[in-house]
Structure 1
Amino acid sequence: MIRRWVLLTLLVLTTAPLQAAEIHREKSLYRNIVVKEADGRRCLLFSVKRGDRNQTCMDLEDPQRLVFPYVRMAFGGLLLNPDPTRVLVIGLGGGTIPTALSELYPDAMIDAVEIDEAVVRVAKQYFNFAESARLKVRVSDARVFIKRALLQDRTYDLIILDAFTGDYIPEHLMTQEFLQESRDLLSADGVLVANTFSTSVLYDHESETYQAVFGDYLNFKLPISGNRVIIAGRQGLPSDFVIKSQASRLVESLRPYGIDPRTFPANMSREKDWDRTRRLLTDQYSPANLLRGDD
């Protein structure tokens, strides 16, 4: 009996996940920032009232591989524009998305906008993020940055919205006015990619707001992820045939990042699966109204 108990104890000890070791913690102007390591991964977390929320995880043995499904999904925008030369990423996290894009497109100019200087510092210190002549961090509120970029007549071929406070997206980055400004910043064949949630009290309102600004878009969801990625084009959407062809073209270049783009098209829907009567999110009617029950 004792021998059996010892064997069971050893089995539990060897199969249980390692306790995460906290290697960094600080309180910035905007949030509590935590870096932890466990099971061969280093993760950036934002600590909020309901607990710690992962923002970025890096595989310590294979840092190039993108760990989270939603991060891999963000590269679905390349199926609409596979050769961007100017890229804007809103929200830095650990810097995995702009880093991967700079490797894929070494001649592209990439701006990464992050409101929190502490996040930039942590990304550089713990997640191998580095700026270069063609990859620059702009410490700014995204709304302010986009307004200034419009005044300077800048355009981008690819815009990725990946700004999370920990629980959700800042409300001023979800409104019709903001999305219209983002659309205006796209080049003629530009593509916008937005990381959001597939289940939320805001789903119908958010969906209808994107529809009002962009027209039809792709709703990209994976069974293994609670996220959805919205993919919209400045000039509408290409055919399914074109999307599948681009997916095949990108297989080899995306392989080092753990991405198989051939799996993407089957999970991209053009169906309007939301209540079309819901009010649009605007600067005057923001998500805060909905969360207070002011629908």
Structure 2
Amino acid sequence: MHEEPASVPEPVPVVRAVDGGTARLLPDLDRARAWLLTVDDAPQSYVDLDEPRHLEFEYVRRLAHVIDCAADEGTPLTVWHLGGGALTLPRYVAATRPGSAQHVVEADGALLALVAERLPIPDDSGITVHGADARRWLEAAPDGAADLLIADVFGGSTVPAHLTSVEYARQAARVLGADGIYAVNLADGAPFGFLRSQLATLATVFPELALIAEPSVLRGRRFGNTVLVASRRPLDTAALARRAAADAFPARVEHGPALRRRAGRAAPVRDSGAVPSPRPPDGAFSV
């Protein structure tokens, strides 16, 4: 996961118009080849080209915990990523599970071009990038093709409506093997109407659910990211909880009765009534 020095971009900010707004690549002056990607000033990705195992964003580390607990250490996996950004997690998987086959689906073609130009991935990474809408690409994919499906798709600052429904969840379950795991990054705040609806939606398709988030978010004290994990087989929630608790900003794992109580009487979302996730309050995810 180390590019040749000739391909290293100069450590100066890069500003580029992309489909989703104005993208900026900002060098981290504390790490020689590390970059922060923002779109319209909202943080999108952080990549350290020298050490792809380094994950700066808290929610990305929680998604990585799901990856780490999905199989024995170092075992190659077939991982599909809906939402690309700067390919932080695909680079992480390539470094920690060499030989993995990965597909990344990103609708913003201009953003893909910027990342390919300034933060290229090695030819032997096993990562294939597709410029496509996540739902349409998923619907055309074969059954049982992936071990892990990770969704981190935001149109601006919200999750698109067509990626929040039962019909979408069925497609996600279809492309996963019997032991496959779905993990999605969501953002919400009290009273958690969107999060509760997503719990109800995924529960119609996946019998096993777990939620990873900071206690302050779960208690409704602030708007923030939550990672929702779903599968048709039991999840190793104990291992997830140990890893989440050991973070610099510890998180909690909810599952079982506690998670069912959180969902309450929320109704599953259908395509006909789907809406985007709520917009974060000003400053919620500022750099």
| Cα separation, partners in 2 of 1:209 and 1:103, compared to 1, 3 Å | same
Query: Is residue 263 from structure 1 mapped to residue 251 from structure 2 by the alignment?
Result: no
| Cα separation, partners in 2 of 1:204 and 1:121, compared to 1, 3 Å | same
Q: Residue 37 of structure 2 is aligned with which of 17, 39, 44? A: 44
Q: Distance in 2 between matches of 1:36 and 1:239?
A: 37
Aligned partner of residue 119 in structure 1, secondary structure? helix
Aligned partner of residue 111 in structure 2, secondary structure? helix
Check conservation: 2:208, 2:235, Cα contact below 8 A. no
- 1:281 aligns with 269
| Cα separation, partners in 2 of 1:175 and 1:121, compared to 1, 3 Å | same
Deviates more, 1:36-45 or 1:84-93: 36-45
- 2:56 aligns with 67
- 2:227 aligns with 229
Q: Residue 169 of structure 1 is aligned with which of 159, 162, 168? A: 159
Q: Which has the higher helix share?
A: 1
Check conservation: 2:166, 2:270, Cα contact below 8 A. yes
1:18-67 per-residue CA deviation (whole Å, 9 max, x = no partner) reads xxx982223233433222345536311111xxxx2100123588554111
Q: Map of 1:33-112 to 2, 5 A cutoff? A: 33-37=23-27, 39-40=29-30, 42-47=35-40, 52-59=41-48, 64-78=53-67, 79-82=69-72, 83-112=75-104
Aligned partner of residue 214 in structure 1, secondary structure? coil
Q: Percent identity?
A: 22
Check conservation: 1:198, 1:221, Cα contact below 8 A. no
1:112 partner amino acid: V
1:208-257 per-residue CA deviation (whole Å, 9 max, x = no partner) reads 11222212301111348721111111x232455xx43x888xxxxxxxxx
How much has 1:129 moved relative to structure 2? 3.4
TM-score by length of 2: 0.76
Query: Is residue 140 from structure 1 mapped to residue 132 from structure 2 by the alignment?
Result: yes
| Unaligned stretches of 5+ residues in structure 2 | 1-10, 218-223, 280-287
Aligned length: 250
Q: Residue 168 of structure 2 is aligned with which of 167, 175, 178? A: 178
